[in-house]
Amino acid sequence: MALTGRWLCWCAPLLLCLATATAAVVDGQSWNTADRWLSFKTRCHKIYSSQSEDDRRHTLWEMRISDISRHNSEHADGKHHFTLADNCFADLTEEEMQLKFGFLKPPPPPPSYRRRRRGIVEDELLPLLPVMPTYRNTIPVDQLPVSVNWTSMPGWVGAVVDQGNCGSCWAVSATAALEAQYFNLTGSTITLSRQNLIDCAFSQGNYGCLGGFTHAALWYVKEKGIEAIDNYPDISDQTGWSGTCQYRESLSVLNVTGWQLIDSTEAALQQAVALVGPVAVAVHVDQSFVLYSGGVYSGYFCTSSERLNHALLLVGYGVTNDRPYWLLRNSWGESWGMNGYMMLARNADNMCGVASEGVFPVITANRATSPSSSSSPSGVQTATTTTTTTTTHHRRRHSHHSKMSTVSQNIV
């Protein structure tokens, strides 16, 4: 993707970015930018505090439109395999977009150290993250299912959520992975409280809406448990941190006995998502990722496994137009990407670092439920079962999602 100097507007003062265009060509159509700007504000419910703020946002948005148009024109010429769109992030600064991320991998700390949290410097002993087993590739990749889509199997993957301006992707991906294994264990669906983790999991090294680590979220649940969202409502997309931890152990609905760290190879990740179910992963997000609209994404600047900054749920994989991909569920609402999902290039040198921090939990349920017939002690299904049930439920799951239909047809 050819990014012009205009992308510097994400980081540089806006006064350096002068927009002079009055029209743009987007997706093959010529648009008057004034009309399209009004349409964007209406679609995304944008209300600015003053005319000067409106002008500032308009300048940002116009330059995004120019780069989106250029990229999509090159896509039409076969230079790229994914498209961009002026989604509801197209008027945000780089600093504002950072609020949409939130994956923080803590460095190994010494036994005792000083840390700053919400402006308060504390002397404390912070225990190290427990050592857990590594899940490794043990089955030849050519013996795994050619494609897997857990969203086509009712009960395994919940609805797409919007984390708002809270950097809580770590909590969203952790609870989603827990919910999948809860369904595998009990045959019942549940929605866990992300707010419970945002408010309470500080002792494990998380920072609420300022970011956290998926593994540390699982560590909290192992130590304390977690409530369902019905008992501990989620307000993080509106106000962020609720102000105090309100967790009640008596209402915990499951226990984490441990977790497995997926070996940092795409072969191990493919085996895990095929045989275990949806797993939590982390990626490095760049500007083009934010404006992703469809196709198989491969960003020039998201190749670093050392700069992971956003957590998602990996729900499957497949091949479309001879291009292998991972199917990811994001937490930026259904208006982003393909109804909240994206296809990320697979077997492409660990694109965006997707295979670097994969993890899935091992759980037991607190309340009496009937285990599903497909569960096993390790939470692993056979490749044959995965392939069969994915095919069985394909049409029912995606009949109402036109953007996902193309993905589905190439997954099963």
What's the rounded Cα separation, in Å, for the pair 367 and 343?
Answer: 36
Spatial CA neighbour of 367 closest among 250, 277, 232, 258? 250
C-beta of residue 181 within 8 angstroms of C-beta of residue 363: yes
Residues whose CB falls within 8 Å of the CB of residue 353, separated by 6 or more in sequence, listed in order: 282, 283, 284, 302, 303, 304, 305, 306, 307, 308
Is 400 known to be catalytic? Answer: no
Residue with tokens 């209300």: 47
Please report the sign of the dihedral spanned by the C-alpha atoms of residue 140, residue 141, residue 146, residue 151. positive
Structure tokens at 14: 């806006």
Structure tokens at 392: 């069985």
Given the residues 17, 88, 169, 200, the one annotated as active site: 169
Is 330 known to be catalytic? Answer: yes
The neighbouring-strand residues paired with 280 are 313, 359
Given the residues 310, 393, 394, 398, the one annotated as active site: 310
Is 398 known to be catalytic? Answer: no
What's the rounded Cα separation, in Å, for the pair 169 and 361?
Answer: 17
**SS3 (DSSP) at 383:** helix
Given the residues 309, 330, 339, 350, the one annotated as active site: 330
Question: Where on the phi/psi map is residue 37: left (φ > 0), alpha (ψ -120 to 50), or beta?
Answer: alpha
Residues that are catalytic: 169, 310, 330
